[in-house]
Amino acid sequence: MKSTSQPYKALPTAKKNSATMETLPKGSDFVQRLAVLTRKLGYEFSDLSLPNLALTHRSFDSKKNYERLEFLGDALLGMIIGEALYHRYPNQNEGRLTRMRATLVRQESLVTIAQGLELSNHLILGIGERKGGGRNRASILADAVESLIGAIYLDSQDMEITRHCVLAWYGDLIDNVNDQKALKDAKSRLQEWLQSKQFDLPHYELVETRGNAPYQIFVVRCQVNINNCPDITESGESRRIAEQKAAELMINQLHKLPAAFKKR
């Protein structure tokens, strides 16, 4: 993950509603932590209310939270990544470019971005969400990335600055997305590998559901009909995420087995 050495300063606008420390939540250390976040983002906000809003989950404030910024950031992200792919891969057709863009803007990729920016340290969550593991919840981390994109655009009023930040965050992800492996999710790759070896398709079983909505954790078991290949059990905040994680571990396990496989 890359970040600029000198953060961009927002361009002045005619109607700037700059937030001071007094306008942010009292007792919050957000302003102090913002200096750390600024270095990671590669951008310095003029309006401090925007990054504050971009990191505020609805569990903390049901009315003033990041959801509208996320809406804007989602649209900007799709355009920025689409344009970057168009120029980076001039020989790829529309279908291939669409799959590459989908790979780069999906939740898993956004979580990778969020982890590189260490956003979990800056999220503003309600008590219940904090206790429920919200700081590491994939959906919240992905949403925060998109909302920060929207915040940077509104603060800078400059598409070029926004584009520069986003592409810096993505770094090598865009360069590597043309790899066939990156374009397919783990379940698809596991299924194709098994079919190529003439094995049965994998079986996924929901083993357990822990907790109550919206803080549920799903535990899934992945089984393949191959000798000496133990089942894989993984968990996630949705059944789909748990299955994908289990499939990825199963692929890694299969690659370590001897070449001469036998069915059970």
Model confidence pLDDT, tens digit, residues 202-241: 999 999 998 877 778 899 999 999 988 899 999 888 888 8
Query: What are the DSSP calls for 144-195, one per residue?
Result: HHHHHHHHHHHHH--HHHHHHHHHHHHTHHHHHTTSHHHHS-HHHHHHHHHH
Q: Which range (28-42, 131-145, 239-253) has the least confidence?
A: 28-42
Measured between alpha carbons, how far is 72 from 148 in angstroms, rounded to an integer?
A: 10
Task: Round to the nearest angstrom and report the end-to-end CA distance of the chain.
Answer: 43
* Predicted local confidence at residue 158, as pLDDT: 95
205 is an active site residue: no
Q: Which range (4-8, 27-31, 247-251) has the least confidence?
A: 4-8
In the set 47, 70, 74, 143, the catalytic residue is 74
Measured between alpha carbons, how far is 109 from 73 in angstroms, rounded to an integer?
A: 15
Nearest Cα to 148, choosing from 172, 125, 114? 114
* Predicted local confidence at residue 152, as pLDDT: 97
Could you give phi then psi for residue 19, rounded to 5 degrees? Answer: -90, 135
Per-domain boundaries in the chain: 8-183, 186-256
Measured between alpha carbons, how far is 98 from 180 in angstroms, rounded to an integer?
A: 14
Could you give phi then psi for residue 12, rounded to 5 degrees? Answer: -65, 145
* Predicted local confidence at residue 261, as pLDDT: 57
Measured between alpha carbons, how far is 188 from 183 in angstroms, rounded to an integer?
A: 10
70 is an active site residue: no
DSSP-derived pairing of the beta strands 203-210 and 217-223: antiparallel
pLDDT higher than 90, residue 78: yes
What the block records as the tokens of 74 is 């989602």
Q: What is the mean pLDDT of the chain?
A: 84
Measured between alpha carbons, how far is 60 from 166 in angstroms, rounded to an integer?
A: 27
pLDDT tens digits, one per residue of 146-198: 999 999 999 999 999 999 999 999 988 898 887 756 557 788 889 888 988 88
pLDDT higher than 80, residue 96: yes
Sign of CA dihedral 90, 91, 96, 99: negative
**Would you give the distance in Å from CA 49 to the centre of its chain?**
23
In the set 44, 47, 146, 155, the catalytic residue is 146
- Same fold flag, 8-183 and 186-256: no
* Predicted local confidence at residue 241, as pLDDT: 86
Cis geometry, peptide bond prior to residue 258 (ω within 30 degrees of 0) = no
Which pLDDT band holds residue 6 (cuts at 50, 70, 90)?
Answer: very low
Higher-pLDDT residue of 127, 178 = 127
Apex CA 159: angle with CA 136 and CA 113, to 5°? 20
CATH number of 186-256: 3.30.160.20
Beta-strand runs (E) in the chain: 8-9, 43-44, 203-210, 217-223, 232-236
Measured between alpha carbons, how far is 254 from 264 in angstroms, rounded to an integer?
A: 14
Higher-pLDDT residue of 14, 124 = 124
CATH 1.10.3720.10 fits 8-183, yes or no: no
Specify the pTM: 0.70
